[in-house]
Amino acid sequence: MTDELSHQGYRMTPQRLMIVAAVENSSNHISADEIYSQVVAKYPNVNVSTVYRTLELLERLGLVTKTDLGGGRVMYHPVEKGHHHHLVCKECGAIIDLDESALMPLKESLLHQYQFIADLRHLGILGVCVNCRQQTPKKPAESQQGE
């Protein structure tokens, strides 16, 4: 990714090098906060805003994807490590992985019908998983124990 950045005319600052390294070394997904922790460990004076700004840049250049997997934190993933999606259960928070191919038909149809290039490289799709299908949403009075 660093090559890509400098070839595109962006400056290679130590902050960027470390942020890029953190994203590349992450096994799968990584949050801005985790990146920040890693970077601060070596450069104690870097700021979170730099992390966010760098991630925004990487996303704009198509080098990383940004995905909301629920739970308040947005996750980042290097594009070069392959595309995939996630089914996120609203009830239990379970995350089921999904192959990229699952959204290809949709991407195609949006392209043909609307000439819209949908960014469907790394989606978090909300819903309810098999295990939570039976359960009804808990009402105020009857909050006994719905296990």
Q: Write down how long the chain is.
A: 147
Tokens describing residue 51: 């992390």
Q: Is 84 helix (H, G, I), strand (E, B) or coil?
A: strand
Least distance (Å) between residue 50 CB and DNA: 3
Of 73 and 83, the one with the shorter C-beta distance to DNA is 73
Of 4 and 40, the one with the shorter C-beta distance to a second copy is 4
> Of the candidates 96, 98, 90, which has an alpha carbon nearest to the alpha carbon of residue 135?
90
Q: Does 74 bind a second copy (CB under 8 A)?
A: no
> Of the candidates 137, 124, 51, which has an alpha carbon nearest to the alpha carbon of residue 94?
124
Q: Does 13 bind a second copy (CB under 8 A)?
A: no
Decide which of DNA, a second copy, none touches 40; Cβ closer than 5 to 8 Å per partner kind. none
Where on the chain is the footprint of DNA (CB under 7 A)?
A: 6, 9-16, 31-33, 43, 45-50, 52-54, 56, 72-74, 140-141, 143
